Homo-oligomer: A and B are copies of this chain.
C-alpha cells in the first residue's frame, strides 16, 4: 500500500458531510480499490460547532477555505462550497496554484470559469475533477471522457435538474398549478428557498454547458446556452400536452448543428415512449448519441447527499489510484472554439396555445399569421370557453424554423383578440429506445 491520500474538504453541508460519511463507511473497500487509504486531514465550514452527524475532530479545522487551500498539507482540495465566485473560486484557484488536485461539485464555477481553471490545472500538472457537478448518481463525465472516448458525439440531452422534474412530475400527477407545487417542493426540501436558479433553468444550463464541452471537445460556452425555465408552464399546458399524447419535461440539449454547436435548456413536449418520458421526480437522465456506440441512456439520482458524495469519492478514488484525465477530455489547447448556433435556427415542431376572445374573424387572423410565415399546422384544437368568452386555441405545427414561428406569434400578440402573450413550447421528437 502507498501512503494515504490526504484530502481537505471545504464546505460541510449536505454533500460534504455525506462524503465524509461515505469515506468512513466504505473505507476498507475504497482502500482496496485505490491501493491506499483516503484520509480527511483538514476541513473548513462556516460553523465549527454544528452537529453534522460525522466526526471531524481528527482533521485540522480552518475557518477560511482559502487559508486552508493555501496552508493545509494535503494532496487534494475538495471544494463543496458552491457558487461561481467568492470563496469557492478563490479557494480552488489557491489550491491549483499550490499544485493540489481539486475535486469539486460546483457546476457554476465550471460553467463560468472552466477553461481558465482547466488551464491552470494543466500547467500545475494536477487534476481538476467534477463528476459531482453534473447528475451525481450518474457517472456521465466519466462516460463521456473515457467510456465513450472512441466516439464522435452528435448530440447529448437530458433531464438535468431534479427540482424542475419533481415539479413537472407532480403537476402532471395531481393537476395542480406551478406555484402550488413549487411551494410544496420547498417545504419538502426539493426546492431552495430562492428557487430561481433551478426553476429558471440556470442550474440545468450550467450542467449542459459542461456536458457539451466534454461531449464535443469544445470550450465551455455557458453564455451561449439558450435558457428557459418552467415558470410559464401551466396545469392547462400539461393537460393539453397529455391529451395530445405528450409529456412536458425540462430538457438540456446540446447538438452539433450546421456550422457550430447548439445549446439549449427549455421545457418541451416529448413522446411518452421517449427514454426521458419515464424519468420522474428527482431522477436525472442523460442520453448520448455517438457515431459508433449509438444511443445510450444513463439514469440515476441527480442530487442529494448520497449520490453527490458518491461522485465526489469516485473522483478521489481516481486520483488516489493515479488515474488522470484532462479536465474536458482533451488538453485545453485541443478544445475547439465552436460558433454558437442560436435557437432561432432550430427547425422543429411546436405547441402553441393562444388565449383569444371568441369572435368572428379571430381564427382567420391566426391562420393568416401562420400562413404569412409559411408555418403549417398539423393539428388545431379549440378548447374551453370561459365566462368572458375566452377560448384556448392549441396548435401543433409541422416542422418549421423557430424564427418564422416567432414572427407569426409576434404579429398575433399585437392582435386585440389575442388576450395573453402566446404560449409556445417546443416539441422534441427524440427516438424511442
Cβ of A337 to closest chain B Cβ, rounded Å: 15
What is the chain B residue whose CB lies nearest that of A131? B147
Establish whether residues A296 and B334, one from each chain, have CB atoms under 8 Å apart when the complex forms: no
A151 at the interface (CB under 8 A from B): yes
A397 at the interface (CB under 8 A from B): no
A313 at the interface (CB under 8 A from B): yes
The chain B residue sitting closest to A274, CB to CB, is B278
Q: Are B306 and A294 in contact (CB under 8 A)?
A: yes
A325 is an interface residue with CB less than 8 A from chain B: yes
Whether A310 contacts B323 by the Cβ 8 Å rule is no
A32 to B291, CA, bound (A): 18
For the complex, is A395 an interface residue (Cβ under 8 Å from B)?
no
Interface check A22, CB cutoff 8 A: yes
- Within the complex, which residue of B136, B148, B291 is in contact with A314, where a contact is CB–CB below 8 Å? B148
Which residues on the B side are within 8 Å of A273 (C-beta)?
Answer: 278
Closest to A313 in B: B150
A29 within 8 A of B: yes
Least CB distance from A369 to B in Å reads: 40
Q: Does A124 contact B (CB under 8 A)?
A: no
Shortest A356–chain B CB gap in Å is 39
A298 interface contact, C-beta 8 A: yes
Q: Which of A290-306 contact B (CB under 8 A)?
A: 290-301, 304, 306
A166 within 8 A of B: no
Give Cα distance in the complex from A298 to B295, angstroms.
Answer: 11
Q: Which residues of chain B are near A301, meaning CB under 8 Å?
A: 293-296
> Which of chain A's residues 132-148 have a Cβ closer than 8 Å to chain B?
136-139, 142-143, 145-148
Q: Are A29 and B217 in contact (CB under 8 A)?
A: yes
Q: In whole angstroms, how far apart are the Cα atoms of A18 and B139 in the complex?
A: 26
Closest B residue to A153 by CB, please name it.
B29
Q: Is A275 engaged at the interface, CB distance under 8 Å to the other chain?
A: yes
B293 to A310, Cβ gap below 8 A? yes
Q: What's the nearest-Cβ distance from chain B to residue A311, in Å?
A: 8
Taking residues whose C-beta sits less than 8 angstroms from the other chain, chain A's interface range is 35 or more
Complex Cα spacing A290 to B309, Å:
12
Distance between A293 CB and nearest chain B CB, rounded to angstroms: 4
A297 (CB) vs chain B CBs: closest residue: B299
Which one of B293, B318, B324 contacts A307 once the chains associate, using CB atoms below 8 Å? B293
Which B residues are CB-close (under 8 A) to A309?
Answer: 150, 292
Query: In the complex, A273 Cα to B279 Cα: how many Å?
Result: 10
Q: Are A310 and B148 in contact (CB under 8 A)?
A: yes
Q: How far is the CA of A48 from the CA of B145 in the complex (A)?
A: 35
Report whether A33 and B322 are in contact in the complex, using a CB–CB cutoff of 8 Å: no
The smallest C-beta distance from A202 to any residue of chain B, in angstroms, reads: 25
Known: A291-B25, A307-B294. A139 touches B143 (CB 8 A): yes
* Chain B residues positioned under 8 Å from A322 (CB to CB): 324
The answer to whether B150 touches A314 (Cβ under 8 A) is yes
**Considering the chains assembled together, what is the distance between the CA atoms of A321 and B323 in angstroms?**
9
Q: Which residues of B contact A316 (CB under 8 A)?
A: 150
**Digit string of A1-23 for contact with B (CB within 8 Å is 1, else 0)?**
00000000000000000100011
Interface status of A152 (Cβ within 8 A of chain B): yes
Residues A280 and B32 in contact in the complex (CB < 8 Å), given A139-B143, A139-B147, A150-B317: no
Which residues of B lie under 8 Å from residue A317 when comparing CB positions?
146, 149-150
Is A158 in contact with chain B by the CB < 8 A criterion?
A: no
* A381 CB–B CB distance under 8 Å: no
Interchain nearest-CB distance for A378 vs B (Å):
26
On whether the beta carbons of B321 and A292 are closer than 8 Å, the reply is no
B298 touches A296 (CB 8 A): yes
Cβ contacts under 8 Å, A151 to chain B: 22, 26, 310
**Which of A23, A293, A304 has its CB near the most chain B CB atoms (within 10 A)?**
A293
List 9 tightest A-B contacts by C-beta distance, closest first: A139-B147, A150-B313, A296-B300, A292-B306, A293-B310, A297-B299, A32-B330, A149-B317, A323-B323
- 15 new A-B contacts, CB < 8 A, other than A142-B143, A296-B301, are A22-B151, A23-B150, A26-B291, A32-B217, A33-B149, A136-B293, A139-B147, A139-B148, A146-B323, A275-B299, A278-B433, A290-B310, A292-B310, A321-B324, A323-B325
